[in-house]
Amino acid sequence: MTRPLKIFCDFDGTITRVDGCNLIIDHCIGRDARCAIDDKIVSGEYSFRQGYDAQFAGVRLSWAEAQPLLHRQNGIDPTFPAFVRWVEGKNIPFMVLSAGVAQIIREYLATVGLAKLDIRANQIRIENRRWRVDYFDDTPFGNDKAAAVREAAGEGFRTVFIGDGISDFPVASVADILFAKRGDRLAAHCASQGIDFHPFDNFEEVLAVLRLEIGD
Protein backbone atom coordinates (compact mmCIF):
# COMPACT_ATOMS: atom_id res chain seq x y z
CA MET A 1 0.00 0.00 0.00
CA THR A 2 1.24 3.50 -0.77
CA ARG A 3 2.20 5.50 2.26
CA PRO A 4 -0.20 8.34 3.14
CA LEU A 5 0.93 11.88 2.36
CA LYS A 6 1.87 14.55 4.87
CA ILE A 7 2.33 18.06 3.48
CA PHE A 8 4.71 20.69 4.88
CA CYS A 9 4.61 24.20 3.49
CA ASP A 10 6.84 27.23 3.97
CA PHE A 11 5.03 30.55 4.53
CA ASP A 12 6.98 33.68 3.49
CA GLY A 13 7.51 33.73 -0.26
CA THR A 14 5.51 30.51 -0.69
CA ILE A 15 1.99 31.12 0.69
CA THR A 16 2.45 34.89 0.70
CA ARG A 17 4.55 37.35 -1.27
CA VAL A 18 4.49 39.88 1.59
CA ASP A 19 7.04 39.30 4.35
CA GLY A 20 5.33 40.49 7.54
CA CYS A 21 8.56 40.48 9.58
CA ASN A 22 10.18 42.81 7.04
CA LEU A 23 7.16 45.15 7.18
CA ILE A 24 7.50 45.47 10.96
CA ILE A 25 11.29 45.80 10.93
CA ASP A 26 11.34 48.31 8.06
CA HIS A 27 8.77 50.45 9.86
CA CYS A 28 11.03 50.65 12.93
CA ILE A 29 14.63 50.66 11.67
CA GLY A 30 14.17 51.49 7.97
CA ARG A 31 14.62 49.32 4.91
CA ASP A 32 18.29 50.23 4.38
CA ALA A 33 19.28 49.17 7.90
CA ARG A 34 17.33 45.91 7.53
CA CYS A 35 18.91 45.16 4.15
CA ALA A 36 22.41 45.90 5.52
CA ILE A 37 21.82 43.17 8.13
CA ASP A 38 20.39 40.84 5.46
CA ASP A 39 23.62 41.32 3.50
CA LYS A 40 25.63 40.22 6.54
CA ILE A 41 23.51 37.05 6.77
CA VAL A 42 24.07 36.30 3.08
CA SER A 43 27.84 36.95 3.37
CA GLY A 44 28.05 34.67 6.42
CA GLU A 45 29.21 37.42 8.79
CA TYR A 46 26.01 36.87 10.81
CA SER A 47 24.13 33.62 11.30
CA PHE A 48 20.45 33.78 10.40
CA ARG A 49 19.59 34.05 14.09
CA GLN A 50 22.15 36.78 14.83
CA GLY A 51 20.78 38.79 11.91
CA TYR A 52 17.15 38.20 12.87
CA ASP A 53 17.88 39.17 16.49
CA ALA A 54 19.71 42.33 15.34
CA GLN A 55 16.77 43.34 13.15
CA PHE A 56 14.13 42.74 15.83
CA ALA A 57 16.30 44.51 18.44
CA GLY A 58 15.29 47.81 16.81
CA VAL A 59 11.54 47.16 16.91
CA ARG A 60 9.43 49.26 19.30
CA LEU A 61 5.76 48.42 18.77
CA SER A 62 2.86 46.91 20.66
CA TRP A 63 1.02 44.07 18.92
CA ALA A 64 -1.97 46.39 18.52
CA GLU A 65 0.28 48.88 16.70
CA ALA A 66 1.78 46.15 14.53
CA GLN A 67 -1.52 44.70 13.29
CA PRO A 68 -2.58 47.63 11.05
CA LEU A 69 0.93 47.68 9.53
CA LEU A 70 0.64 44.02 8.63
CA HIS A 71 -2.76 44.58 7.06
CA ARG A 72 -1.64 47.37 4.76
CA GLN A 73 -0.51 44.57 2.47
CA ASN A 74 -1.77 41.04 2.21
CA GLY A 75 0.00 38.87 -0.30
CA ILE A 76 -1.66 35.51 0.40
CA ASP A 77 -1.75 33.50 -2.82
CA PRO A 78 -5.43 33.53 -3.89
CA THR A 79 -5.15 29.86 -4.93
CA PHE A 80 -4.06 28.78 -1.42
CA PRO A 81 -7.47 28.55 0.36
CA ALA A 82 -8.90 26.20 -2.30
CA PHE A 83 -5.77 24.06 -2.03
CA VAL A 84 -6.24 23.77 1.75
CA ARG A 85 -9.90 22.82 1.24
CA TRP A 86 -8.81 19.96 -1.04
CA VAL A 87 -6.12 18.85 1.45
CA GLU A 88 -8.64 18.86 4.31
CA GLY A 89 -11.24 17.07 2.20
CA LYS A 90 -8.72 14.28 1.63
CA ASN A 91 -7.73 14.21 5.33
CA ILE A 92 -4.09 14.82 4.43
CA PRO A 93 -2.16 16.22 7.41
CA PHE A 94 -0.83 19.70 6.64
CA MET A 95 1.64 21.90 8.51
CA VAL A 96 2.98 25.39 7.89
CA LEU A 97 6.72 25.13 8.56
CA SER A 98 8.48 28.48 8.82
CA ALA A 99 11.63 30.21 10.04
CA GLY A 100 9.39 33.28 10.48
CA VAL A 101 7.09 34.28 13.33
CA ALA A 102 4.00 32.25 14.21
CA GLN A 103 1.87 35.20 15.41
CA ILE A 104 2.40 37.07 12.12
CA ILE A 105 1.65 33.95 10.06
CA ARG A 106 -1.59 33.38 11.99
CA GLU A 107 -2.57 37.03 11.59
CA TYR A 108 -2.29 36.70 7.80
CA LEU A 109 -3.94 33.27 7.61
CA ALA A 110 -6.89 34.61 9.62
CA THR A 111 -7.68 37.00 6.74
CA VAL A 112 -8.59 33.99 4.59
CA GLY A 113 -10.28 32.02 7.38
CA LEU A 114 -7.31 29.68 7.92
CA ALA A 115 -6.10 30.75 11.38
CA LYS A 116 -6.56 27.20 12.66
CA LEU A 117 -3.90 25.64 10.41
CA ASP A 118 -1.13 23.77 12.19
CA ILE A 119 1.92 26.11 12.36
CA ARG A 120 5.45 25.27 13.47
CA ALA A 121 7.53 28.45 13.55
CA ASN A 122 9.40 30.77 15.88
CA GLN A 123 7.47 32.87 18.41
CA ILE A 124 7.75 36.53 19.26
CA ARG A 125 7.60 37.80 22.83
CA ILE A 126 6.57 41.45 23.18
CA GLU A 127 7.29 43.23 26.47
CA ASN A 128 7.04 47.01 26.80
CA ARG A 129 6.92 47.28 22.98
CA ARG A 130 10.24 45.42 22.69
CA TRP A 131 10.30 42.28 20.53
CA ARG A 132 12.30 39.17 21.23
CA VAL A 133 12.34 36.03 19.12
CA ASP A 134 11.82 32.74 20.96
CA TYR A 135 13.26 30.15 18.61
CA PHE A 136 11.59 26.77 18.16
CA ASP A 137 14.91 24.93 18.52
CA ASP A 138 18.67 25.56 18.69
CA THR A 139 19.41 25.06 14.99
CA PRO A 140 20.66 27.88 12.67
CA PHE A 141 17.19 28.95 11.45
CA GLY A 142 15.58 28.42 14.85
CA ASN A 143 13.31 25.78 13.31
CA ASP A 144 14.84 22.72 11.68
CA LYS A 145 12.46 22.05 8.81
CA ALA A 146 14.34 18.92 7.74
CA ALA A 147 13.86 17.43 11.23
CA ALA A 148 10.08 17.89 11.03
CA VAL A 149 9.97 16.20 7.63
CA ARG A 150 12.26 13.34 8.74
CA GLU A 151 10.05 12.78 11.78
CA ALA A 152 6.99 12.39 9.54
CA ALA A 153 8.89 9.98 7.27
CA GLY A 154 9.75 7.97 10.38
CA GLU A 155 6.04 7.82 11.20
CA GLY A 156 5.42 6.21 7.79
CA PHE A 157 4.29 9.23 5.77
CA ARG A 158 5.30 10.04 2.22
CA THR A 159 6.42 13.62 2.73
CA VAL A 160 5.68 16.65 0.58
CA PHE A 161 7.47 19.97 0.99
CA ILE A 162 6.54 23.23 -0.72
CA GLY A 163 8.96 26.16 -0.45
CA ASP A 164 10.99 28.90 -2.07
CA GLY A 165 14.00 30.12 -0.10
CA ILE A 166 17.27 29.62 1.77
CA SER A 167 15.74 28.21 4.97
CA ASP A 168 14.23 25.46 2.79
CA PHE A 169 17.58 24.18 1.44
CA PRO A 170 18.06 21.56 4.21
CA VAL A 171 14.66 20.00 3.39
CA ALA A 172 15.29 19.68 -0.33
CA SER A 173 17.08 16.34 -0.16
CA VAL A 174 14.79 15.00 2.60
CA ALA A 175 11.23 15.39 1.26
CA ASP A 176 9.83 12.63 -0.98
CA ILE A 177 8.00 15.12 -3.20
CA LEU A 178 9.43 18.61 -3.48
CA PHE A 179 7.90 21.79 -4.89
CA ALA A 180 10.10 24.86 -5.41
CA LYS A 181 8.75 28.24 -6.46
CA ARG A 182 9.73 28.96 -10.04
CA GLY A 183 12.67 31.37 -10.39
CA ASP A 184 13.52 31.53 -6.66
CA ARG A 185 16.53 30.47 -4.60
CA LEU A 186 15.29 26.96 -3.69
CA ALA A 187 14.67 26.06 -7.34
CA ALA A 188 18.16 27.31 -8.28
CA HIS A 189 19.68 25.34 -5.39
CA CYS A 190 17.93 22.12 -6.45
CA ALA A 191 18.92 22.59 -10.08
CA SER A 192 22.58 23.11 -9.10
CA GLN A 193 22.56 20.10 -6.74
CA GLY A 194 20.71 17.77 -9.11
CA ILE A 195 17.73 17.43 -6.74
CA ASP A 196 14.40 16.59 -8.43
CA PHE A 197 11.60 19.09 -7.85
CA HIS A 198 8.33 20.34 -9.29
CA PRO A 199 8.51 24.05 -10.15
CA PHE A 200 5.33 26.02 -9.35
CA ASP A 201 3.95 29.55 -9.44
CA ASN A 202 0.73 28.93 -7.51
CA PHE A 203 -1.13 26.24 -5.57
CA GLU A 204 -3.26 25.17 -8.54
CA GLU A 205 -0.09 23.69 -10.01
CA VAL A 206 0.80 21.98 -6.72
CA LEU A 207 -2.72 20.58 -6.51
CA ALA A 208 -2.57 19.18 -10.06
CA VAL A 209 0.64 17.27 -9.29
CA LEU A 210 -0.64 15.91 -5.95
CA ARG A 211 -3.94 14.78 -7.49
CA LEU A 212 -1.96 12.69 -9.97
CA GLU A 213 0.23 11.36 -7.13
CA ILE A 214 -2.73 10.01 -5.18
CA GLY A 215 -4.85 9.13 -8.22
CA ASP A 216 -7.62 11.64 -7.33
> Any contact of residue 181 with Mg ion (CB under 5 A)?
no
Specify the residue, 84 or 163, whose C-beta has the smaller distance to Mg ion.
163
Q: How far is the CB of 185 from Mg ion (least distance, A)?
A: 9
> How many residues bind to Mg ion according to rule CB under 5 A?
5
For residue 158, the cross-strand partners are 5
Specify the residue, 87 or 168, whose C-beta has the smaller distance to Mg ion.
168
| Interface residue with Mg ion, options 8, 10, 103, 190 (CB under 5 A) | 10
Specify the residue, 184 or 204, whose C-beta has the smaller distance to Mg ion.
184
Query: Among 11, 123, 17, 19, which residue's Cα sits nearest to residue 70?
Result: 19
Specify the residue, 100 or 155, whose C-beta has the smaller distance to Mg ion.
100
Specify the residue, 18 or 126, whose C-beta has the smaller distance to Mg ion.
18
Given the rule CB under 5 A, which of 76-84, 132-140, 161-169, 200-208 is the region that contacts Mg ion? 161-169
3-state secondary structure the chain: CCCCEEEEECCECCCECCCHHHHHHHHHHCHHHHHHHHHHHHHCCCCHHHHHHHHHCCCECCHHHHHHHHCCCCCECCCHHHHHHHHHHCCCCEEEEEEEEHHHHHHHHHCCCCCCCEEEEEEEEEECCEEEEECCCCCCCCCCHHHHHHHHHHCCCEEEEEECCHHHHHHHCCCCEEEEECCCHHHHHHHHHCCCCEEECCHHHHHHHHHHHHCC
| Interface residue with Mg ion, options 56, 164, 172, 174 (CB under 5 A) | 164
Q: How far is the CB of 164 from Mg ion (least distance, A)?
A: 5
> Any contact of residue 165 with Mg ion (CB under 5 A)?
yes
Query: Among 14, 10, 8, 7, which residue's Cα sits nearest to residue 184?
Result: 14
Q: How far is the CB of 14 from Mg ion (least distance, A)?
A: 5
| Interface residue with Mg ion, options 7, 9, 12, 41 (CB under 5 A) | 12
Specify the residue, 58 or 165, whose C-beta has the smaller distance to Mg ion.
165
* Residue 24 and residue 69 in contact, taking contact as beta carbons nearer than 8 Å: yes
Write out the binding residues for Mg ion, residues 123-152 only, by CB under 5 A.
Answer: none
Q: How far is the CB of 7 from Mg ion (least distance, A)?
A: 15
Residues that bind Mg ion (CB under 5 A): 10, 12-13, 164-165
